[in-house]
Chain A
Amino acid sequence: MEILHNVTINHYLGLSTVLFALGVFGMLYRKNAIIIFMCVELMLNAVNLALVSFSKMHGDTDGQIFVFFIMVVAAAEVAVGLAILMMLYRNRHTTDTDTLNDLKG
């Protein structure tokens, strides 16, 4: 399947960059821990996209294997992270990161 004649690696990297920056922006912009968590997922996906396009460029499978493992880790992370969020909410009745300032020095 010879497709994407005029789409270069840079196009994908550009898209990846835009999505990553969006994730960063969201993390800074929002206060809700769950939304911040979603932004993390968005950033992970941006990186995945970049990796797949690299894999495509080099024509080998390593990049995609890498993406596969990132998905694995992301799934595990979500499971644990959401459990932590649940506990946090039960104890503090909020997911607002601004009120969680126990680390204040």
Chain B
Amino acid sequence: MEKLVALIPLFPLLGFLYITFFGKNQSKGTAGAIATALVALSFVLAILVFTTQLHGAHATFVKVLDWIHVGSFQVDLSFVVDPLSSLYILFITGVGSLIHLYSIGYMHDDEGFHRFMSYLNLFVFFMLLLVLGDNLLLLFVGWEGVGVCSFMLIGFWYKDHANNDAAKKAFVMNRVGDLGLILGMSLIFVQCGSLNYNDLMIGGSAIGHLGKWATLGAVLLFIGAMGKSAQFPLHTWLPDAMAGPTPVSALIHAATMVTAGIYLVARFSDLFTISEGASQLVTWAGVITAVMGASIALTQNDIKKVLAYSTVSQLGFMFAALGMGAYTIAVFHVVTHAFFKALLFLGSGSVIHAMGGEQDIRRMGGLKSHMPTTYWTFLVGTIAIAGIFPFAGFFSKDQILAHAMENNTVVFALLMLAAAGTAFYMFRMFYLTFHGEFRGTHEQEHHLHESPKTMTIPLVVLAIASTVGGFMGFPHAIGHAMHIEHALDHFLSGSIELTHSHMSVATEIALALISMAIAGMMILFAYNIYIKKATPVLEDAEINSPLHRLLWKKYGMDELYDNLFRKPIDALSAGLYHWVEQKMLLGMVDGSGDAAKGIGRILQPLHNGQIVTYLLAIIVGLIALIFAL
């Protein structure tokens, strides 16, 4: 049964090749159906593979091809099936096929429809490669592959220069992280002599050979994860990445690709467990990111920007959990987050679709009556992310908080703050979008409509998943008392070391109640401001208070990078251009040109156009040649 795993990445690849080479002749419907069906097929296979892991998890390796065999360096095109990877492929293909379906409706009027579908398929292929590869090098191939797909999809509407800039920004930011990954990979290979998970962790324990390098290796890998998963200080690309079409934001920049960093750290949990320092770094990077993302999201007015900063913040939660050794909980949060964040993005896409491209929530309002399905599913997503029982976000977020409380009070307090902020900004956005009066133009109001079936079906499915998805990871203490096993923990124990919490039932319940109470208060607060008092949201120019301005300006990170890196490089380039290129290189080029001209002028009289002279020259040369022989 596990052998089937080899087919899982194959289908999206086939889809990509087919649509790229033959898709032009197909109608949009056919091409979209093919792309969706292939990913759905992968999903079915992923379920089959997943079920093999349910009873007695064990890592299985499926070798497809020899890849690189040089001396002791052996890397194969080979897949690993274990709880971690099978869980990942499950939600990648699951959420992926829903988003494919959604894209058929969302992108229907786009001239680049075929291109879009083929990119999406390619992305799914690389993402599966990343997760399934049984060695770091294959992971790296997938890692770069999803980076390229992300680049192409962010800049999908390449006619707008801003989109290209956003794509470039994402690419460059990711390069910084990738450098860390490459270095970490090299270090692991030099010290441990292998890149295969089996030698490093699962079958053997070669990762232990890192010794005193363990912290450095872990930090380097984490830098890679930082780039991909948009952690402070490499997070600035993700909000800009919202320039891409909304399904892309949902699939790549919320549900799957950005969680590759979590996967990497979780996969190397053995390494991070050894290294206390690296884990601390991961925790704090996560906490800072979580708080910062949540605080920026408070002030954003672009519906997708809010969700983007929310994603950044949630990724911060996951890393904080990873750093505290709660690997299974982080992965749990990845899964629930994939559900509700994909749902929210798709919902926002539905709204944008209805609004004719408008993304500013200050121009929305009162959409509730126009698009009920979107409204209700969006509400589910919002509640889920705010962390209200029994929706999915509650379980995962609550367990992260519980872990933080056990480990470090400061971390706990900060995460609590971020969670409170999350509830507030999500409901702020929700109220502004769906309640109150409509604030857009008349044309837009006239145009409002519910989205087509291909778009609402994924919304409903994801809403259901966001509602019940949390129960696979019932909190430990409570679950234990009620004889419900923490299913996910148990399942993942096949790949990841567990850290059991020693919290009492009472504390856990109290914590859950407190966090829910805070979330509830925040919701009421938002309701009070935006519905009861109907406070208008300030226009960009009216933002005066320093704190508001700071948040609205995203802590000036972009400007900081601009001043720190871009401007010096620009200046350096300008200097090089002026001095080296203009003076030296051009001088050299022009000089050689002038020299050739000069020589030509000297030799010009020789070409008098008389054939006889040429002939004479030939004969003389011939004579000289024969004579020389």
Number of interchain pairs (Cβ within 8 Å) = 31
CB-based contact A28/B610 at 8 Å: no
A101:B609 contact, CB within 8 angstroms: yes
A24 CB-CB contact with B under 8 Å: yes
**B610 x A98 contact (CB < 8 A):** yes
Q: Cα distance A100–B607 when bound, in Å?
A: 13
Q: Which residue of A lies closest to B623 (CB)?
A: A24
List of B residues within 8 angstroms of A104 by Cβ: 607-609
Q: Which of A24, A27, A97, A105 lies at the interface centre, i.e. has the most chain B CB atoms within 10 A of its CB?
A: A105
User: A3: CB under 8 A from chain B?
Assistant: no
B619 near A103: Cβ-Cβ < 8 Å: no
Determine whether the beta carbon of B611 is less than 8 Å from that of A97: yes
Asked if A102 is at the interface of the complex by the 8 Å CB criterion, the answer is yes
Contacts of B619 in A (CB 8 A): 24, 28
A105 to B613, CA, bound (A): 13
B604 touches A27 (CB 8 A): no
Q: Is A56 an interface residue (CB 8 A)?
A: no
Within 8 Å CB of A103, what residues of B? 607, 609
Smallest CB separation, B627 vs chain A (Å): 14
- Write the nearest CB–CB distance from B625 to chain A, whole angstroms: 14
CB <8 Å contact, A31 and B612: yes
Q: Does B481 sit within 8 A of A, measured CB to CB?
A: no
Q: Which residues of A contact B605 (CB under 8 A)?
A: 105
Asked whether any CB of chain A lies closer than 8 Å to the CB of B1, the reply is no
Q: Per-residue 0/1 for B572-603: is the Cβ within 8 Å of any A Cβ (1 yes, 0 no)?
A: 00000000000000000000000000001001
- Cβ–Cβ < 8 Å partners of B606 in chain A: 105
Chain B residues near A28 (CB-CB < 8 A): 612, 615-616, 619
12 A-B pairs whose Cβ atoms sit less than 8 Å apart in the complex = A24-B619, A28-B619, A97-B610, A97-B611, A101-B608, A103-B607, A103-B609, A104-B607, A104-B608, A104-B609, A105-B605, A105-B608
Bound complex: CA A105 to CA B602 (Å): 11
Nearest CB in chain A: distance from B606 CB, A: 8
User: Chain B: which residue is nearest A97 at the CB level?
Assistant: B611
- Given contacts A24-B619, A28-B619, is CB(A98)–CB(B612) below 8 Å? yes
Taking the nearest CB of chain B, how far is it from the CB of A78, in angstroms?
Answer: 18
Whether the Cβ atoms of A102 and B609 lie closer than 8 Å is yes
Is B607's CB under 8 angstroms from A97's CB?
Answer: no
Q: Are B610 and A105 in contact (CB under 8 A)?
A: no
CB distance from A20 to the nearest CB of B (A): 10
Residue of B nearest to A101 (CB): B609
Residues of A with Cβ closer than 8 Å to B? Answer: 24, 27-28, 31, 97-98, 100-105
Residues of B within 8 A of A101 (CB): 608-610
List residues of chain A with CB within 8 A of the CB of B604: 105
Residues of chain A with a CB closer than 8 A to B615's CB: 27-28
Q: Which residues of B contact A102 (CB under 8 A)?
A: 609
B607–A105 touching, CB < 8 Å = yes
Chain B residues within 8 Å of A100, by CB: 609, 611
Q: Which residues does chain A contribute within 8 Å of B616, judged by CB atoms?
A: 28
A62 to chain B, nearest CB (A): 23
Given contacts A28-B615, A101-B610, A104-B609, 5 further A-B pairs with CB under 8 A are: A28-B619, A103-B609, A105-B600, A105-B605, A105-B609
Per the 8 Å Cβ criterion, residues 551-579 of B in contact with A are none
**Which residue of chain A has the shortest Cβ distance to B600 in the bound complex?**
A105
Give CA–CA (A24, B607) in the complex, Å. Answer: 21
Residues of B within 8 A of A31 (CB): 612
Q: How far is the CB of A43 from chain B (nearest CB, A)?
A: 11
CA distance A105 to B616 in the complex (A): 17
Task: Determine the distance from Cα of A102 to Cα of B611 in the docked complex, in whole angstroms.
Answer: 10
Q: Given the complex, which residues of A lie within 8 Å of B610, measured CB to CB?
A: 97-98, 101
Q: Find chain A residues with CB under 8 A from B612 CB.
A: 28, 31, 97-98
CB neighbours (8 Å) of A105 from chain B are: 600, 603-609
Docked CA distance A31–B615 (Å): 12
The 6 closest A-B pairs by CB, nearest first: A101-B609, A104-B609, A105-B607, A103-B609, A97-B611, A105-B604
Residue of A nearest to B619 (CB): A24
CB distance from A37 to the nearest CB of B (A): 12
Q: Nearest CB to that of A104 among chain B residues?
A: B609
Query: Closest approach, in angstroms, between the C-beta of B616 and any C-beta of chain A?
Result: 6
| B611 CB to nearest A CB, Å | 5
CA distance A97 to B605 in the complex (A): 18
The distance in angstroms between the C-alpha atoms of A97 and B615, with both chains bound, is: 12
Within the complex, what minimum Cβ distance (angstroms) separates B152 from chain A?
52
Give the distance to chain B from A17, nearest Cβ to Cβ, in Å.
11
Distance from B19 Cβ to chain A, minimum over Cβ atoms (Å)? 53
Task: Name which residue of chain B comes closest to A31, CB basis.
Answer: B612
Report chain B residues within 8 Å CB of A27: 615
A26 to chain B, nearest CB (A): 11
- Distance between B102 CB and nearest chain A CB, rounded to angstroms: 69
Q: How far is the CA of A91 from the CA of B610 in the complex (A)?
A: 19
- Closest A residue to B605 using CB positions: A105
Shortest A97–chain B CB gap in Å is 5
Q: Among B604, B606, B607, B610, find the residue whose CB has the most chain A CB atoms closer than 10 A.
A: B610
Residues from chain B with a CB closer than 8 A to the CB of A24 are: 619
CB distance from B370 to the nearest CB of A (A): 79
| Chain A residue contacts of B611, Cβ below 8 A | 97, 100
**Shortest distance between the CB of A34 and any CB in chain B (Å):** 13
Q: How far is the CA of A103 from the CA of B609 in the complex (A)?
A: 4
Chain B residue nearest to A27 (CB atoms) is: B615
- Across-interface contacts of A98 in B (CB, < 8 A): 610, 612
Distance in Å: Cβ of A79 to nearest Cβ of chain B: 21
Contacts of B608 in A (CB 8 A): 101, 104-105
Chain A residue nearest to B614 (CB atoms) is A103
In residues 392-449 of chain B, which contact A (Cβ within 8 Å)? none
In angstroms, Cα B612 to Cα A24, docked, is 11
With both beta carbons as reference points, the residue of chain B lying nearest to A24 in the complex is identified as B619
- B609 neighbours in A (Cβ, 8 Å): 100-105
Residues of chain B within 8 A of A97, CB atoms compared = 610-612
- B210: min CB distance to chain A, Å: 71
B603 to chain A, nearest CB (A): 8
CA distance A14 to B604 in the complex (A): 39
Bound CA span A44–B432, Å:
95
Q: In whole angstroms, how far apart are the Cα atoms of A101 and B600 in the complex?
A: 18
